[in-house]
Copies of this chain bind each other. A is one copy, B any other.
Amino acid sequence: MSRTEAGQRPRAVRARFRAGEGGPTAGLAPGHTQANLIAVPADWAYDMLLFCQRNPKPCPVLDVTDAGAWSTQLAPGADLRTDLPGYRVWENGQLVAEPGEVTGHWRADLVTFLLGCSFTFEAALLAADVPVRHIELGRNVPMYVTDRPCRPAGRLHGRLVVSMRPVPPERLSTAIRETALFPSFHGSPVHCGDPAALGIADLDRPDFGDPVDVRPDEIPVFWACGVTPQAAVMASAPPFAITHAPGQMLITDAREEHYRVL
């Protein structure tokens, strides 16, 4: 994949995904906002928007489309049906397809939610000398379903999903500060340290993404994750939904700096 500056512009990266390229998006188009995608029938849109409002750490809403639309002001010219590297299609809470584009699955009643993603603050972490292991390794970030229930909303319920990055102790306060200033990308960590406190039995067996090594001196740090609504879809079984594949985000034109609170 081209790592030239022009090749890292959001539009160019989306064009490659539209042409069929796949893979996780961590580290791509640095400085630009990445987004989780979840589309549900309009009949479920209020429950989803309320679920997001009631669970703002995992579900920071960046944009909501009108029913049927596949465009967003966050990425002019983008087609939400084709411009992500990978999608998941859900029927009654069951995964029924994992296609590279969803033009054939789209419905006129779909309302699409774009939620902030922790990949976006990784550029700020790297700039502040906080290492990001899964980028070093060229892997997807490890993600885990915790034992913490989300606050339900209407018919939607489910458990919190988190992403994990190992951080050296001397960089921990920097990592917390840098991410706290981006509440739209999940903000500060939900937990630092023992994964058992979140009901995570084995860091080497993530529920989504790839495992990464945690060195003996490092602290596993957990941030709320935008895969949480997918866990809610699995638990709550709406008749139909389309989501991004975990770690395979929409890359928008919006500058991450736009969302920094200070």
Contacts and interface: CB of A to CB of B under 8 A. Distances in A.
A183 B49 contact: no
A181 B262 CA distance: 7
A1 interface: no
A180 B46 contact: no
A188 B261 contact: yes
Interface residues of A, number: 18
Contacts of A200: none
Contact of A50 (B49, B181, B187): B49
SS of A interface (majority): helix
Q: How many copies does the complex hold?
A: 2
A141 to B, nearest CB: 22
Contacts of A52: 53
A14 B176 CA distance: 36
Nearest to A180: B262
Contact of A262 (B46, B49, B53, B188): B188
B262 A177 contact: yes
A178 to B, nearest CB: 10
Interface string A164-178: 000000000000110
A45 interface: yes
B180 A261 contact: yes
Interface in A21-71: 45-46, 49-50, 52-54, 61, 64
Interface string A194-222: 00000000000000000000000000000
A64 B46 CA distance: 11
A54 B64 contact: yes
A33 B54 CA distance: 17
The 7 A-B pairs at the shortest CB distance, nearest first, are namely A180-B262, A46-B46, A180-B261, A53-B61, A49-B49, A183-B261, A183-B183
